[in-house]
Amino acid sequence: EKQKEGFLLCVCSKNNEADVKEAFDKKQFPLKWTDFTSKKINWNDKVINIQNIARDLNIGTDSLIFIDDNLFELNSVSEILKGVACFHFTDNYTDFLSMTNSFFFRRKLILDADREKAKQYETEELRKSEEAAYENLDDFIKSLNIKMDIRLNDIKDIERLAQMTGKTNQFNFNKHEYTPDELTEFIKNKNRIYSLKVSDKYGDYGTVGLISIEIDGNNAIIDNYLMSCRALGKGIEEKFYNEILGELAKDNLQLKEIRFTKTEKNSPAQQFLQQRKTEIKY
């Protein structure tokens, strides 16, 4: 049920992978081997495996929930990886209900994009497999046939855009969460929200980017720029940014300011801005 809501299921197990795979093949589990986006099944420390799972998914460990029946493992993870939410799995059904009712498992809003998340990560694994066959990253990116669909003030997608302001951490100029109503009001005040949908030969990434522009006469201020982590590293963030600067110039709007607030997690966004070598104040 959580997977249908957009949670990604992963395995972190001290075991022989072949034995675990055999169990899934022979037994009638409600979950199948293919339901798990990342699998770390070995004899390594679980702290290391959890860090590797986060790396696989390109997210912070504070986005992870760790469930285990071994208190030693739980204590180890909670002590070393402070942001991980840890739950003790017991044979007590009351404990189980208490765990599943925790706010860690609740979503404010479940969108179609959430339900597609596991499939999107599965597709991303195909991209990574193909990338390994290329010696040159540029050649690999060209082979993807990436298509970008930039939209202006797409009210129909406003719930997804608002959701991104709350969920995106690494590539986010300003970590300020907006509601759909607040974004709608921003647009009504003659400001602009450019959104980005991306697809390639493997499939659809969905809506992955947002640049909000505050308009003041002939001046433009980038209020925020954010990009989903799964779209990063393919040149998409640079092209989207440059396209929007081109749109502003076409409309005789001069970029006067870029708002940026440093957080513990958004160093990729800061590096992107510094690499632009812009003289714009931020």
pLDDT for 275: 85
Residue 280: per-residue pLDDT: 53
Convert the pLDDT of each residue in 211-269 to its tens digit: 999 999 999 999 999 998 878 888 999 999 999 999 999 999 999 999 999 988 888 89
Three-class DSSP labels, 31-82: CCHHHEEEEEEECCCHHHHHHHHHHHHCCCHHHCEEEECCHHHHHHHHHHCC
Evaluate if pTM is beyond 0.75. no
What pLDDT score does 132 carry?
Answer: 76
Query: Chain centroid to CA 17: how far?
Result: 28
Distance CA 96, CA 65 (A): 14
Beta bridge mates, 227: 209
Closest to 124 measured CA to CA, from 36, 5, 230, 39: 230
What is the spatial distance between Cα 153 and Cα 193, in angstroms, rounded to a whole number? 5
Measured N-to-C along each axis, helices 267-275 and 236-250 cross at an angle, to the nearest 10 degrees, of: 60
Angle at 63 between CA 61 and CA 66, to 5 degrees: 75
Predicted local distance difference test score (pLDDT) of residue 109: 64
72-93 burial, b at 16+ Cβ within 10 Å, e below that, comes to ebbebbeeebeebbbbeeeeee
- pLDDT attached to residue 186: 95
Residue 4 is given by DSSP the state G
Question: End-to-end alpha-carbon separation of the chain, Å?
Answer: 43
Q: Which residues of the chain have pLDDT under 70?
A: 108-118, 277-282
